[in-house]
Structure 1
Amino acid sequence: MARANEEVEALLQEYADLVAITGGDAFKARAYEKAARAIGGHPADISHLDADGLRDIPNVGRSIAEKVIEYLRTGTVAVVEERRAKIPAGVRELITIPTLGPKKAMRLYEDLHISSVSELAAAIEADALADLKGFGEKTQENILHGIRLMQQAGGRIPIHLALDTAEEIVAELSQVTGCKRCTYAGSLRRMRETIGDIDILVAAKRSAPFMEALETLPSTAEVIAHGEKKTSIRTTKGVQVDLRVLPPDSWGAGLQYFTGSKAHNIRTRTIAVRPGLKLSEYGLFDTGSGESVASRSEEEVYARLGLPWIPPTLREDRGEIQAAVRGELPEVVTERDVRGDLHTHTDLTDGLASLEAMVEAAAERGYAYYAVTDHAPNLYMQRMTDEKILAQREELRALDGAHHGMRLLHGTELNISAEGDVDWPGAFLVGFDLCVASLHSHFDLDRRAMTRRLVRACENPHVNIIGHPTTRLIGKRPGVDADWDEVFAACARTGTALEINAQPDRLDLCDEDILRARQHGVKFAVNTDAHSVLHLAHLRYGVATAQRGWLTADDVINTWPLRRLRRFLAKDGSG
């Protein structure tokens, strides 16, 4: 169910990898990577564009546009197939391992004839890579960790892809005659960062029309199981979808039951037993008379158990039941609470849209304020200079307040060096409204050095937010090794916020780290790190992650009025 944009993005990225594996021109590989990103972030559906329309997309030239047209017309691209044929399938499997690049994958195949993930794991265990140049002990540890990440991910898919699929199916089934209610449930409704399969619930008197509708959707590739109450299909993208049709009177109980988590449901069923009740997907029943005492809404079910309604993002048996009993359940932050985005990029560095386009899109979201934070000069490939950033500041000041009164903040994303320094001197940083500081390199420092590096960045009086703090990429790259309790304490002490990066492949900090940091008194910023107009909508994933970390609006600095936010950014203790 992905847009054509996403399919082409994946294809061009694969071609870039194939070029790199076969020793092709590094510039050519980089050009295809840039085109892939640009097409993936393009707001319009590229399947409706001709060659000229494609060439209007940044980084898409004539040759790439022709290949895209070829793919959209035939489903394949000849040069991609040719490159695939030159490379053993096993090598293509190896490059899917996080931390293992294409050149190392090819060397493993050519020197040791390793052509599968299992063979590579066995070779490392047998110490067969010891004499292979570039495969020292640390590299082998990283590869094994990457293999474990793959195994943990299994068939799980990122939350944004699962949500796109679920919302399309819900929209289709909601149109079927007789539908009273329809939504997704399970781990997706709890907004976990990856999803195993998708649970869809329908409230209706007759189930057959909905089972038939699901089975005949264009995106349905296979019917796994067909039943009166449950049907399971696999989509053309390989995602399993389970549909259950409930009686309308059982909607609330069914939604609560199928949302989970399993551990949360065990708690609620245990509470039900004490006053002589039984809780199931059909309702809350008196065990003596069999009479239903609550079932139509979740609120009704929880209230009958003596509890307030508990947001789905909290239902992980991490103390939410006990907090609800004590009346201490947090009023978690929502998208409506967010007044602005404090970490975004434009095409001045590696963004895909102009300053004007990003500002206009932010204004359309109803923000009270919005920050532009392009990269600083030490991320050398972005070619930032003092002159460029100052010219952007003038352009931004001219736009300030021009879009429904939205105030614009001029910031930058600084690079934290291995020693904890940042790009520009303090005298230059004084001119920015805010500074985000992030790790972009030296991910393999030892725990002590990494901790010192992050703490030093927090202690910089000009650093307001630590961006994507652990640097993890879900299923692809582990987070850096640091004493996070020491880092969290430093953030609280210095008035430095920690980012919850809403990019769905990051969600960094994750919910468990948020819970720990919150105990230290840290404040947070839920930002999109948007590199295109489309990325601004990723805020929903960051907010959901914040909810899973039990955060309220008061914990999140970009829910605050601008005056309070500016006091916090001053780092003088008045925020």
Structure 2
Amino acid sequence: MSRANEEVEALLQEYADLIAISGGDAFKARAYEKAARAIGGHPDDVAQLGPEGLREIPNVGRSIAAKVVEFLRSGRVPEIEETRAAIPAGVRELITIPTLGPKKAMVLHEELGISSVDQLLDAIHGERLRDLKGFGEKTEENILHGISLMQQAGEGRILISAAMDVAEQIVAELSGITGCVRCTYAGSLRRMRETIGDIDVLVAAERARSFMDAVASLPYTAEVIAHGEKKTSIRTTKGLQVDLRVLPPESWGAGLQYFTGSKAHNIRTREIAVRQKLKLSEYGLFDVKTGRKITSETEEDVYARLGLPCIPPTLREDRGEIAAGLRGELPVLVQESDIRGDLHTHTDLTDGLAPLEDMVAAAAARGHAYYAVTDHAPNLSMQRMTDEKILAQRERVRALDRRHHGMRLLHGTELNIGPDGELDWPDDFLAGFDLCVASVHSHFNQSPAALTRRIIRACENPHVAIIGHPTTRRIGKRPGLNADFDAVFEACARTGTALEINSHPERLDLRDEDILRAKRYGVRFAVNSDAHSTTHLPYLRYGVGTAQRAWLTADDIINTWPLTRLRRFLAGNRPGSR
């Protein structure tokens, strides 16, 4: 299951929020927030580190390390529990609402006695928030949207990364059991949906009993929901449902096709089968009249008998893939192996957690041909960037170039798109970078027209090659910008500016639906990790999965290109670059 890092990160972040709610020292709250991020992104499991090892993690001092040790030993930290007890439970519930910060939550409790989401909804509908200082009609709209996001996120769905962690560990456990012929995950996880409701795991074996018993007795199984001969369902200690099905080996292909879904895709394939007087189920493709099994062992065989190519799992959403397959027009989807380099990453010079040398070495270990370092620019003031710091980093990047298996290094920056579309540095300074990513980091609530103009102005700067995390959304936490993205897509196509597919599982921005729209305008894309730690670099798999769901080929994505072609694009010769 997940490393202890995630639990410790959540605990320290909660403590930072509690300090802020209670009006405590802002520097102390910030210190715990930084420590939470550092531990969350640390490559080693903190449960295996002693006090001295913990203190080697950036931003983890003696006091925080002691609290972590206490939590790992006993499961509790008295100081944090005392702070938690001093704050009404209702206020702690309110701060889970995206868009509602700790200070406003405390005001609502102290001024209006609000201590639950239901009470808050009643107060908004009664327009009682508008009399409070710092609140207004726009604040009410934002809070209502935040409650909606929270409720959607609470519908039993988790981020793809959390689901993948569980699924891969279960697959590894079951694959080692005697009699296992094949084992994998299916369902929406195999289709690379951004959030997952439950996990489907399939095993091909002659006998099911040992696999059903094994999944029921896993150390992270909190509850056995159902235990049968064909299916066992468990709930993990994190509340995630896992459904295990054991199929005869000869039915593997049909079962994998059936349980991968989606439901709408399967309805289409069954309709084709019916027209051919066939029946398609999880056990095979059968002749309706005779009951004879025609094929079942591989997905390729099942699709071929229906007159289709094997449709990639990420396309199985009933968005035209069946018709395209029948016409022989399915794209050759981009693969993770096609990605030659990562064009948006951070180091500890700004808000990253690892030094430059560690990030470069980890990228080289992944087999990249090139790699860009793009730390934040000065207008994001909390990062304390200066001209001198970024130029000194450039010298270090140049010195490291080619030292790791010939991997080429690009020195870039992530610029901030200001409220009027302005960027951090003047054009003559920007000209010195190999790569400029530009992103919105603040002023999210501007009017749609202002937001649209703002992003388009950044696209029109000849030094901006990529718009980073274009909608700024955070899944279940922050909605995307209310901008006219069709106008943005049109501007990107006109200026030759690429749009990022940010691979961080909390972002996956652009969404697959946005990418499909943008591609129709002729936009190019960059699949980047936005890594702030060496452990974030593998997130590229989720960005590639999102790109596949949007029908992208390798040629649509600039960081699949050879370096010479990429450099031409970055130099400004972007439209139609070959």
* Amino acid in the other structure paired with 1:265: N
Which residue in 2 is equivalent to 1:269? 270
Task: Map 1:347-496; keep pairs closer than 5 Å.
Answer: 347-496=348-497
Residue 115 (1) aligns with residue 115 (2)? yes
| CA RMSD after TM alignment | 0.8
1:91-134 deviation line (CA, Å, top 9, x unaligned): 11111111011111111111111111122122212212121222
Q: Distance in 1 between matches of 2:193 and 2:368?
A: 26
Task: Map 1:168-567; keep pairs closer than 5 Å.
Answer: 168-567=169-568
**Deviation larger for 127-136 or 75-84:** 127-136
* Amino acid in the other structure paired with 1:520: Y
Is the CA contact (8 Å cut-off) linking 1:568 and 1:574 kept in structure 2? no
* Amino acid in the other structure paired with 1:351: G
Q: Distance in 1 between matches of 2:122 and 2:268?
A: 43
**1:144 Cα deviation after fit:** 0.5
Which residue in 1 is equivalent to 2:134? 134
Q: Secondary structure of the residue that 1:130 maps to in structure 2? A: helix
**1:152 Cα deviation after fit:** 1.7
**Deviation larger for 480-489 or 147-156:** 147-156
Q: Secondary structure of the residue that 1:454 maps to in structure 2? A: helix
Q: Distance in 1 between matches of 2:187 and 2:576?
A: 42
Q: Distance in 2 between matches of 1:238 and 1:396?
A: 44
Provide the aligned length of Structure 1 versus Structure 2: 575
Q: Distance in 2 between matches of 1:139 and 1:323?
A: 46
Which residue in 2 is equivalent to 1:89? 89
Which residue in 2 is equivalent to 1:148? 148
Q: Distance in 1 between matches of 2:562 and 2:40?
A: 34
**1:566 Cα deviation after fit:** 0.8
1:19-68 deviation line (CA, Å, top 9, x unaligned): 11111101000000000000011101111111011000000000000000
Is the CA contact (8 Å cut-off) linking 1:205 and 1:248 kept in structure 2? yes
Which residue in 1 is equivalent to 2:56? 56
Which residue in 2 is equivalent to 1:71? 71
Q: Distance in 1 between matches of 2:121 and 2:203?
A: 45
Is the CA contact (8 Å cut-off) linking 1:339 and 1:560 kept in structure 2? yes
Q: Distance in 2 between matches of 1:314 and 1:133?
A: 50
Is the CA contact (8 Å cut-off) linking 1:415 and 1:440 kept in structure 2? yes
Which residue in 1 is equivalent to 2:99? 99
Q: Distance in 1 between matches of 2:242 and 2:535?
A: 26
Q: Distance in 1 between matches of 2:90 and 2:246?
A: 43
Is the CA contact (8 Å cut-off) linking 1:224 and 1:234 kept in structure 2? yes
Q: Secondary structure of the residue that 1:225 maps to in structure 2? A: strand
Q: Distance in 2 between matches of 1:126 and 1:276?
A: 61
1:480-535 deviation line (CA, Å, top 9, x unaligned): 11111100000010010000000100000000000000000000000001000000
Residue 13 (1) aligns with residue 9 (2)? no
Shift in CA distance, 394/213, structure 1 to aligned 2, threshold 3 Å = same
Is the CA contact (8 Å cut-off) linking 1:199 and 1:243 kept in structure 2? yes
Q: Distance in 1 between matches of 2:78 and 2:185?
A: 40
Q: Distance in 1 between matches of 2:232 and 2:134?
A: 50
Is the CA contact (8 Å cut-off) linking 1:190 and 1:259 kept in structure 2? yes
Q: Secondary structure of the residue that 1:490 maps to in structure 2? A: helix
TM, length-normalised to structure 1: 0.99
Q: Distance in 2 between matches of 1:533 and 1:27?
A: 27
Q: Secondary structure of the residue that 2:201 maps to in structure 1? A: strand
Percent identity reads 76
* Amino acid in the other structure paired with 1:31: A
Q: Distance in 2 between matches of 1:226 and 1:236?
A: 18
Q: Distance in 1 between matches of 2:284 and 2:94?
A: 49
Q: Which portions of structure 1, spanning 4 or more consecutive aligned residues, are displaced by more than 3 angstroms?
A: none
**1:574 Cα deviation after fit:** 5.8
Which residue in 2 is equivalent to 1:34? 34
**Deviation larger for 103-112 or 514-523:** 103-112
Is the CA contact (8 Å cut-off) linking 1:438 and 1:466 kept in structure 2? yes
Which residue in 2 is equivalent to 1:160? 161
Q: Distance in 2 between matches of 1:240 and 1:117?
A: 26
Is the CA contact (8 Å cut-off) linking 1:494 and 1:571 kept in structure 2? no
Is the CA contact (8 Å cut-off) linking 1:181 and 1:204 kept in structure 2? yes
**1:336 Cα deviation after fit:** 0.2
Which residue in 2 is equivalent to 1:22? 22
Q: Distance in 1 between matches of 2:329 and 2:20?
A: 55
Q: Secondary structure of the residue that 1:241 maps to in structure 2? A: strand
Q: Secondary structure of the residue that 1:12 maps to in structure 2? A: helix
Q: Distance in 2 between matches of 1:574 and 1:243?
A: 48
* Amino acid in the other structure paired with 1:164: D
**1:321 Cα deviation after fit:** 0.6
1:321-368 deviation line (CA, Å, top 9, x unaligned): 111111111111111000000000011111111111111111001111
* Amino acid in the other structure paired with 1:145: H
Q: Distance in 1 between matches of 2:192 and 2:26?
A: 39
Which residue in 1 is equivalent to 2:80? 80
* Amino acid in the other structure paired with 1:35: A
Is the CA contact (8 Å cut-off) linking 1:567 and 1:574 kept in structure 2? no
**1:393 Cα deviation after fit:** 0.5
* Amino acid in the other structure paired with 1:109: H
**Deviation larger for 336-345 or 243-252:** 243-252
Which residue in 2 is equivalent to 1:45? 45
Q: Which runs of 5+ in 2 are unaligned?
A: none
Q: Distance in 2 between matches of 1:120 and 1:293?
A: 60
Q: Secondary structure of the residue that 1:150 maps to in structure 2? A: helix
* Amino acid in the other structure paired with 1:509: L
